[in-house]
């Protein structure tokens, strides 16, 4: 694709941050990964401005994404030790209640019609 300028979405993962929690969505013991999204204006392949920075964490168990407060996100970005609490995690649009197969009890995606584990039809 060719363009000379445009508004793009960027994403940066902070690999130095790692916190292990009991997932609020699925109840598994899992690591949180922190990342940031931002919008930038690109002109001749050079990013000129960045704005709209938002900070998130993602649980590695079920992939749920929560937004975290900007101050904490900025501290993570600076590589400072940050301890996130439940109150820091704001559910995003990706947050859906967990659905379980009535037959085998495994967790399944909301959109599935059949259990990927045992093949039972889901109601």
* Kind and range of the H or E run holding 67: strand 65-67
CB of 100 to Zn ion, least distance (A): 8
CB of 27 to Zn ion, least distance (A): 7
Question: Which tokens in the block code for residue 111?
Answer: 């959109």
The piece of 34-42, 53-61, 65-73, 80-88 that touches Zn ion (CB under 5 A) is 53-61
Site string for Zn ion, 20-39 (x = CB under 5 A): ---x-xx-------------
- Residue 55 has phi, psi (to 5 degrees) of -115, 140
Task: Please identify, using beta-carbon distances, which residue of 64 and 77 lies nearer to Zn ion.
Answer: 64
Query: 63 in the Ramachandran plot: left (φ > 0), alpha (ψ -120 to 50) or beta?
Result: left
């Amino acid at each position: 694709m060719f363009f000379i300028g445009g508004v793009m979405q960027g994403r940066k993962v902070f690999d130095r941050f790692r916190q292990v929690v009991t997932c609020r969505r699925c109840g598994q013991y899992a690591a949180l990964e922190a990342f940031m999204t931002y919008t930038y204006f690109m002109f001749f392949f050079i990013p000129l401005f960045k704005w709209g920075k938002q900070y998130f964490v993602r649980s590695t168990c079920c992939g749920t994404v929560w937004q975290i407060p900007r101050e904490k996100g900025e501290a993570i970005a600076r590589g400072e030790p940050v301890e996130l609490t439940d109150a820091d995690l704001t559910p995003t649009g990706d947050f859906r209640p967990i659905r379980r197969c009535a037959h085998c009890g495994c967790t399944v995606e909301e959109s599935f019609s059949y259990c990927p584990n045992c093949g039972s039809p889901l109601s």
